[in-house]
Amino acid sequence: MAELRKIAIVGSARLPFARANTAYSDETNLSLMAAAISGLADKFGLKGEKIDEVMGGAVINHSRDFNIAREALLDAGLSPRTPGTTMQIACGSSLQAALNLGAKIAMGEIDSAIAVGADSISDSPIVFGNKFQHRLLDMNKAKTPRDKLRAFKGFSFGELSPVAPSVNEPRTGLSMGQHAELMAKEWGISRQAQDELAVRSHRNAARSYDEGFQDDLVVPHAGLVRDNNIRADASLDKMASLKPAFDRDSGRGTLTAGNSTPLTDGAAAVLLASEDWARERGLPVLAYLIMGRVAGNDFAHGDGLLMAPTIAVSEMLQRLGLSFEDIDFFELHEAFAAQVLSTLKAWNDPEYNRTVLGRETPMGAIDPARINVHGSSLAYGHPFAATGARILGLTAKLLADNPGKRALISVCTAGGMGVAAIVESAQA
């Protein structure tokens, strides 16, 4: 077997993220994804070029988008000879796509790839209930006018009520926010700690723009030049004024609209390659994707829905023989401030490490100064499938600016899963 090749992260491009029903209210998953790929292609001179594979997807899907990755790459102007693969693992979709593609590069199956994700809450599919849906199907199959009328026998106008897409977990009936509230209570995460983390995320993200770090990461789109959720003036006083969003009745609710990610539209893409492919085209290598890990837990029977990243990170570090002391930067997706804080507390908890992670000693505490130094999802927003690519692209640039360093990425997902990755600087 040939020696494994390094997985080069050449660069990334993403659209400014927008709160749902604002700047991208007329956009679709497809148009957003195509715009992100197009921005990436413009940045690296790939228009009309064949890429070995584009992989990615969206979480909130229309039936018309049966292979959105392929359609998006064609709309973006890549060569029609470029294959597209649509895949989805909830909020970890584009990061998992990068890991899948990276494995192919490492094995020598392909030389170039784009991992991409997009989501548009503003373009959520609205469908009819099962009864009316079956009536329409029966009418479509009917061969005579009499049979078509018979399909509507007993019809009531109540059947026309649309069924909006749900973000509730099918196995529990609870929303992600409700699950995060349960985690906050289990781990004793205070409202103030959550608000402090959210304020820090907004301020770090605003400073990142002010210092120009985002300039070559973000591609303006539809009149938007920066994420419209970032609040440079975020403060604890403003956070404290917000009411609980998911537990409004017990008097103990701690999750609010401020310390939870908003519903968001957006897209992001990352260009991966072999070193030779990048070198032949005079393209940079910002960092290397080293390893990833995906894990799941039994959230339907008591495990915290968003705690699976603790397992993925633990297993990944064990395989690499690394500890938190070997990591310089931590890029932890902020679905909710409570999720990040529960995860950090769990990694430092002896009982959790022993019973869940199978470790004799705790993984340890992490210096907050090494976590999300340019802000994260609480500030930028969270278009579900796009977040992994946003974080991976940001991390690669962060490491290019910090030679000889290593970063850990962690993304929680619906369905009780987590995706993690290790990225290292390309420069010693």
Q: Point out the residues that are catalytic.
A: 91, 382, 412
In angstroms, what CA-CA distances link 245 with 184, 191, 250, 251, 297?
A: 13, 12, 12, 12, 25
Exposed/middle/buried for residue 238 (C-beta within 10 Å: 0-12, 13-18, 19+): middle
Eight-state DSSP code of residue 268: E
User: Please, which residues have CB within 8 angstroms of residue 263's CB and are 6 or more apart in sequence?
Assistant: 19, 20, 121
- In total, the chain counts a number of residues equal to 428
Q: How far apart are CA 367 and CA 221, in angstroms?
A: 36
Provide long-range contacts, Cβ within 8 A and 24+ apart, for 186-191: 186/304, 186/342, 187/341, 187/342, 187/345, 187/346, 188/345, 189/254, 189/337, 189/338, 189/341, 189/342, 189/345, 190/254, 191/240, 191/254, 191/256, 191/259
Q: How far apart are CA 10 and CA 217, in angstroms?
A: 12
DSSP 40-109: HHHHHT-TTPPPSEEEEE-SS--TT-TTHHHHHHHHTT--TT--EEE--BTBTHHHHHHHHHHHHHHHTS
Helical packing angle, 93-107 and 387-400, nearest 10°: 60
How many CB atoms sit inside 10 A of residue 221's CB?
22
